[in-house]
Structure 1
Amino acid sequence: MECQRRRRWFPSAWLLILGVFAFRMTQAVHHKHVGQFTAVGTTYSLLELSGISFIDDIEIVSYNTIQQQTFFKIPWTPKAVGVNYITEMRDLLVYHEQHVRWVMHYLAKNDTNHNRNHTGQLLADCEIDNDIKIKSHVHLIWDGEEYYRIEEEDGQWENLKPEFKKYQYVLDSPFWTDIRKRYMNKYCVDMMKKIIGYKSLKDNAPPEVTVSRHVNQGGSIILSCTARDFYPQSILLRWEKDGKLGIWGKETSSGILPNMDNTFYLQVTLELSPDDSGRGYTCVVEHIALKTPAVYPVPEKPTMEKPWDLALGIVLAVILLLSCAGAFIAWRKRKAGMHVIRER
């Protein structure tokens, strides 16, 4: 009987270990490139065409029709892509202005007010892991509403607004299909590879990690591991018990979120079953800015609220009290002034 248990456990344990190992390897080299192009115009004119792109949520390059120039936000990125690449990209944007004018006219032609401004947007993104493209998408938006999107690997446009269904033959045409595929590979994937292969976009920053323990209303123990202010975004947070990997409860994640300073945030929580004491758990963090995996033990007792939370509440209460006192004093002065005027 014991032998059978070991046989069942052995492949499951190895799958778990291999899965974590594979996740660790791929996370270390994950990057994402997002491009957004926005056109503003009327039925008969294109007022503005602008574009902006981000790699790992850091702004890289922008373009607008006024200067008809590409502006790189990081000084060394033009060297990474090369002068010929930049010239070709600018010339293509200028060339495609006529196509954008045609699209604006075609979509806005039924508007009775020909002077009304309309906005068309194209959002494109691609992701790579270990220098290999894993996914890419294109979204088409008109006046703030998405009407088409496509996952490149699937190759089928999804129509989200029935009134735009009649335009799908244009998107499916060999001409635009070829352009979409070539541009996504060259100006999304290849451009990203050139830049991240040349130099790091930002100095590596290790995560600031906090681990907490709470008890919910149902009596279950909730463990939270939070990593803040790290760069680049690739990171691995995992739970261990007594130094061992396993599936210990219901795990949820916030997903990796960007901060205003181009660093990132991630929180992973673990809800344990009521019969689990919550002892012996640690949060293990792996990041390129850390020399070795960092281990953070879970507190034995429920985590108290942070002092600054209490301090903030006190400050707000004092401000409210002073505001009320100030308003009362001002009211008394006005009342006293009116009384003096009446006596005169």
Structure 2
Amino acid sequence: MECQRRRRWFSSAWFLILWVFAFRETQAAHHKHMGQFTAVGTAHSLLELSGISFMDDIELLSYSSIHQQINIKIPWASKAVGVDYITRIRNLLVDHEQNFRWTIQYLAKNDTDHNRNHTGQLLADCEIDNDIKVKSHVHLIWDGEEYYRIDEEIGHWENLKPEVKKYQHILDNPFWTNLRKSYMNQYCVDLMRKVVGYSNLKDNVPPEVTVSHHVNQGGSTILSCTATGFYPQSILLRWEKEGKLGVWGKETSSGILPNVDNTFYLQVTLELPPEDSARGYTCVVEHIELKTPAVYPVPENPTMEKPWVLALGIVLAIILMLSCAGAFIAWKKKKSGSTGQLQGSFPSTASPTLPPQ
């Protein structure tokens, strides 16, 4: 009996370990949070301060100084972070309107036209992978030009406009440095952790994968593997030959790009030398919704390099032929009508009748 209890306990514990591992694998993903604050004003006053927050390219919340209210775009987000947390962010933005006003007035003080509108922007982004912060940046932009930026991992402001380097001592001030670090941790990283830890921003979607190849004019074979419509954005595409990894040619990637429906797109191409027959190649795709790596072989028959060019040429040729045929028919009808009119207008060529003697 004791042996059976231990066996059941061991089975239950092993099942629990597997479940926790599977849960961690499901939840573990790469996430990005980006906030953009825009202040518009003159040397005399602040006209408007607006803010918008995106998480994994999905709008999370927005703020406008006109109403001094935060608009939550994802209904359950307020439950994830708590009403008090949202109120704290709102009060913080209201309090910092004065700082944005001071910044615009300070930078615009030498402008000869004191009524001219200026725009100051602060962009902040952070990324986590498996709940660990991996990246964090801040960008400062004035009238559409980036003046300063900082990589939080390096911790040093980079000046992009030599004429404004004189302001760097303000950014390096210990007070603003500690405040920046505190805000990035609380309102960028921690906020993201609260949201993604509560629920998925949207349902996970597996990628739609297509693999093709064609031969270019130089005789090289181009392999193309495209994954689109997937969410979340963490994905891996790699080329294998006969099940093995290696370097066989020049590989390029489009990078992970957003689609209009908040899903993502990625294309990876591999250019092979002319002597490579492209046989045995596969595109291996890894995504959280695929559970296991999916293998997509390269089709044997190559696709045309630019099939739309051929299709367009055929359509244009047909339109041209129809146009020529229509013009020819119209010309024939017009010619036939003109000939009939001319025959009716000219006198008969028969011999004239002589008058009686």
2:108 equivalent to 1:108: yes
The answer on whether the counterparts of 2:211 and 2:299 sit within 8 Å (CA) in structure 1 is: yes
Q: Give the structure 2 partner of residue 5 of structure 1.
A: none
**TM-score, length basis structure 2:** 0.79
Q: Give the structure 2 partner of residue 199 of structure 1.
A: 199
Q: Give the structure 2 partner of residue 170 of structure 1.
A: 170
Q: Give the structure 2 partner of residue 154 of structure 1.
A: 154
The answer on whether the counterparts of 1:240 and 1:281 sit within 8 Å (CA) in structure 2 is: yes
2:57 equivalent to 1:57: yes
Q: Give the structure 1 partner of residue 303 of structure 2.
A: 303
Equivalent-residue separation in structure 2 for 1:210 and 1:306 (angstroms): 16
The 1:211–1:194 alpha-carbon spacing in structure 2 relative to 1, beyond 3 Å, is same
Q: Give the structure 2 partner of residue 11 of structure 1.
A: none
1:274 CA displacement: 2.8
Q: Report percent identity of matched pairs.
A: 79
The 1:79–1:236 alpha-carbon spacing in structure 2 relative to 1, beyond 3 Å, is same
Equivalent-residue separation in structure 2 for 1:108 and 1:123 (angstroms): 20
Question: Residue deviations 1:84-111, cap 9 Å, x none?
Answer: 1111111100000011110010000111
**TM-score, length basis structure 1:** 0.82
One-letter amino acid of the structure 2 residue matched with residue 200 of structure 1: N
Q: Give the structure 2 partner of residue 66 of structure 1.
A: 66
1:290 CA displacement: 1.5
One-letter amino acid of the structure 2 residue matched with residue 41 of structure 1: G
Equivalent-residue separation in structure 2 for 1:320 and 1:85 (angstroms): 67
The answer on whether the counterparts of 1:33 and 1:54 sit within 8 Å (CA) in structure 2 is: yes
The answer on whether the counterparts of 2:36 and 2:53 sit within 8 Å (CA) in structure 1 is: yes
Equivalent-residue separation in structure 1 for 2:318 and 2:210 (angstroms): 30
One-letter amino acid of the structure 2 residue matched with residue 61 of structure 1: L
Q: Give the structure 1 partner of residue 118 of structure 2.
A: 118
1:314 CA displacement: 6.6
1:26 CA displacement: 12
Equivalent-residue separation in structure 2 for 1:217 and 1:305 (angstroms): 9
Question: Which ranges of 4 or more aligned residues in structure 1 deviate by more than 4 Å?
Answer: 25-28, 305-323
Equivalent-residue separation in structure 2 for 1:175 and 1:322 (angstroms): 76
Deviates more, 1:38-47 or 1:269-278: 269-278
Q: Give the structure 2 partner of residue 268 of structure 1.
A: 268
Equivalent-residue separation in structure 2 for 1:204 and 1:313 (angstroms): 41
Aligned ranges 1:1-344 → 2 under 5 Å: 29-304=29-304
Equivalent-residue separation in structure 2 for 1:320 and 1:238 (angstroms): 45
Equivalent-residue separation in structure 1 for 2:87 and 2:117 (angstroms): 30
SS in 1 for 2:262: coil
SS in 2 for 1:299: coil
Q: Specify every segment of 5 or more residues in structure 1 that has no aligned partner in the other structure, as ranges.
A: 1-24, 326-344
SS in 2 for 1:103: helix
1:277 CA displacement: 1.4
The answer on whether the counterparts of 2:215 and 2:305 sit within 8 Å (CA) in structure 1 is: no
The 1:82–1:307 alpha-carbon spacing in structure 2 relative to 1, beyond 3 Å, is same
1:307 CA displacement: 6.9
SS in 1 for 2:178: helix
Equivalent-residue separation in structure 2 for 1:150 and 1:265 (angstroms): 28
1:311 CA displacement: 5.8
1:235 CA displacement: 0.7
Equivalent-residue separation in structure 1 for 2:234 and 2:102 (angstroms): 41
Equivalent-residue separation in structure 1 for 2:319 and 2:39 (angstroms): 46
- Matched pairs, number: 301
SS in 1 for 2:277: coil
1:295 CA displacement: 1.2
1:247 CA displacement: 2.2
Question: Residue deviations 1:217-271, cap 9 Å, x none?
Answer: 2211111100011111011111111112222222111100001110100000111
Deviates more, 1:206-215 or 1:115-124: 206-215
One-letter amino acid of the structure 2 residue matched with residue 209 of structure 1: V
One-letter amino acid of the structure 1 residue matched with residue 142 of structure 2: W
Q: Give the structure 2 partner of residue 16 of structure 1.
A: none
Equivalent-residue separation in structure 1 for 2:113 and 2:192 (angstroms): 42
Equivalent-residue separation in structure 2 for 1:97 and 1:320 (angstroms): 64
The 1:45–1:319 alpha-carbon spacing in structure 2 relative to 1, beyond 3 Å, is farther
Equivalent-residue separation in structure 2 for 1:291 and 1:317 (angstroms): 49
SS in 2 for 1:66: coil
Give 1 or 2 for the bigger CA radius of gyration.
Answer: 2
The answer on whether the counterparts of 2:78 and 2:86 sit within 8 Å (CA) in structure 1 is: yes
The 1:298–1:54 alpha-carbon spacing in structure 2 relative to 1, beyond 3 Å, is same
The 1:309–1:127 alpha-carbon spacing in structure 2 relative to 1, beyond 3 Å, is farther
SS in 1 for 2:227: strand
1:310 CA displacement: 5.9
1:122 CA displacement: 0.4
Equivalent-residue separation in structure 1 for 2:227 and 2:320 (angstroms): 34
Equivalent-residue separation in structure 2 for 1:27 and 1:75 (angstroms): 21
1:292 CA displacement: 2.4
The answer on whether the counterparts of 2:62 and 2:72 sit within 8 Å (CA) in structure 1 is: yes
Q: Specify every segment of 5 or more residues in structure 2 that has no aligned partner in the other structure, as ranges.
A: 1-24, 327-357
1:302 CA displacement: 1.6
The answer on whether the counterparts of 1:28 and 1:234 sit within 8 Å (CA) in structure 2 is: no
The 1:321–1:212 alpha-carbon spacing in structure 2 relative to 1, beyond 3 Å, is same
